A and B are shown apart, each in its own frame.
Chain A
Amino acid sequence: MIQLKVPASHIPQTQLALYSRGDLGFWHRKVVERHLNHCEECAGAAVEFIQLQESLRRSSDRMPAALEGSAWQTLASEMSANIRLGLSAGECVSFAGKPSRVAFVSRPRLSLALAGLTVLAVLIAMEHPALHRAPVPVPVQAQAESPTLEASGDETMVTSGDRGLSVPAPAGSNVIRTVSAHGAVRSRYVDDTGVTIVNVYAE
């Protein structure tokens, strides 16, 4: 039977930051959640992180154009990646002494060094243009699951992996097609008996 390890000391701020973003793995999340259930101090800090995330999310709607859309997502991804990098670096250091990650709090110098490394990594990432602009690769699985909507010739189709749906227009008909950025393509044509309008929606 697997026993969840409950740290005797507090959860590091970096872990709480990842927890508030939903970026922790299953077991780490369980460990943190179990700790938060009986530690008011950490629970309060976690709530603050979550509120900060919400506040950032809301304010991102009013950010300058250069930081909107994918630019902001890229930056956010890089910052997350750098927090993870800092954690990994910390793990390397901690294995030399004590294997428990949550024990950093009981070793202030180590915690300070780790926090410094993390901040340094974030600053380097933000200042270094090549790293800052590096595209975040789209996971292969995510690509396969995002339906693609195509309308060309006399056919409209939506596909995703090995599944798909397509609607042909009758040969020789004058097809008028409109695409909605909401995720649908509408094709219409006239035959002897009236107007037919076909919609294909990407889910």
Chain B
Amino acid sequence: MFTRNKLLAFAALALATPAWAQERQFDPNGSVKFNLPADSPVSLISCDVNESRATVRGGALTLDVHLDLALKNAGNRRLRGITLLIVSQESLPVGRASVSRLVDVGRDEIFPMRVDVRLMRPAGTPGPLVQVNLDGVLFEDLNFYGPNRLNSKRTMTFWEMEARRDRAYFKRMLAERGATGLQESVIESLKRQDDMQRLDVRMVRGRTTTASTNVPGRIEKFAFLDMPEAPVKAVQGWAEISGDEVRSPRIEVRNLSNKPIRYVEIAWLVKDASGQQYVAGSVPLSDSDLYLPAGQTSEMVQDAALRFYKPKSATALPIQQLVGVVNQVEYSDGKVWIPKRDYIGLSPSPEEQRLTDLYRIRGLSALMVELNKF
């Protein structure tokens, strides 16, 4: 009897072992569902899922989603940006991901887009693997198409306005100071990017990042960079700092313009004990129903706890000072405001990053050709 049971156990183990780390390729026809409205200005030419894998380890299923997409501008207007929402039913209680691509694509032109997402969920739960939905497309004339569930219209409009500002700056350098002037301004930008201290971050909404530090800390006030031409003034702000954790940043802003405002974002920098400054992130005025009339004041509160780490460091950075800069403003009519380049002490815009990368990889001539396209 004992021997028979032992044999059965071995047989069960032998059958179970392949399932322990069973890996499967995606079905090209069924694993990924691509949802584009019938009147979408973008059409799907191809979707390569060959690199995607579904792996079962123990009781967990891991989906490594790698999609190589070829999309076509099927409309009449030039495209400047596109955002896709990546949805997995099983990941929805946890989070969502979106992928945006900044492009300059004319009618009938095809452009590539890559999606890399990993989803982890309990094995055995039914349902489709991944769905890709169009959240929106931004045109050259700043019109927008799409459901805009992720506020892609606002986000891509800010990127496009920053792109126009930075292209205009480099073109002006070229026009006023020639190739040498352009080169110097690009090198200056690259140096600023290299000098920029970045931090890893761990964030939890609504509570502390660790239960053991749930003790009230000190209240630290924000220092704000003076920006006279900004339509919004950051009046005051503070956050609770407990050890190396920053909690619940709140900032009071006043609308100095003569138009109502529906979105404000304050860029956020932190300083450590040595005075070293780091770009920490942003505090958006997040209420979707925000309406801040001219001359009125409102408070931006984010119920979040954040810890910052130097890259590759396991120890959180002790925060000594908080600095805020008005970074983005959207009026109720949809028009946006961004700071001049003079005030950029923050991350470079996506377009500045692209242009300086182009210089670094292909040289000054390639950059000049690129600038002349616009």
Residues of A within 8 A of B (CB): 65-66, 68-71, 74, 133, 135-138, 142-143, 146-153, 157-160, 162-168, 170, 174, 176-183, 185, 188, 190, 193-203
Contacts and interface: CB of A to CB of B under 8 A. Distances in A.
A197 B102 contact: yes
A162 B121 contact: yes
A31 B348 CA distance: 61
Nearest to B284: A182
Contacts, number: 204
B209 A163 contact: no
Contact of B214 (A65, A138, A162, A202): A138
B264 to A, nearest CB: 12
B56 to A, nearest CB: 13
B74 interface: no
Nearest to A61: B299
A157 B211 CA distance: 20
Given A149-B202, A165-B118, A183-B304, 8 more contacts: A68-B240, A148-B204, A153-B200, A168-B118, A174-B353, A197-B102, A201-B97, A202-B205
Contact of B249 (A157, A158, A181, A193): A181
A193 B215 CA distance: 48
A71 B248 CA distance: 12
Contacts of A162: 59-60, 120-122
Interface in B92-112: 92-103, 111-112
B24 interface: no
B140 interface: no
B355 to A, nearest CB: 9
Nearest to B247: A69
B302 A181 contact: yes
Interface of B: 59-60, 88, 90-103, 111-114, 116-122, 150, 159, 193, 198, 200-209, 211, 214-216, 219, 238, 240, 247-249, 268, 279-284, 286, 302, 304, 306, 309, 311-312, 347-348, 350-351, 353-354, 357
Nearest to B159: A197
Contacts of B206: 146
A183 B101 CA distance: 21
Nearest to B91: A165
Given A163-B122, A165-B119, A179-B282, A188 B353 contact: yes
A100 B319 CA distance: 55
Given A143-B211, A149-B202, A152-B311, A198 B93 contact: no
B97 A200 contact: yes
B284 A181 contact: yes
Nearest to B194: A174
Contact of B357 (A68, A174, A200): A174
Contacts of B120: 159, 162-166
Contact of A198 (B95, B97, B122): B97
A146 B159 CA distance: 31
Contacts of B98: 198-199, 201
Contacts of A135: 214-215
B281 A180 contact: yes
A104 B282 CA distance: 55
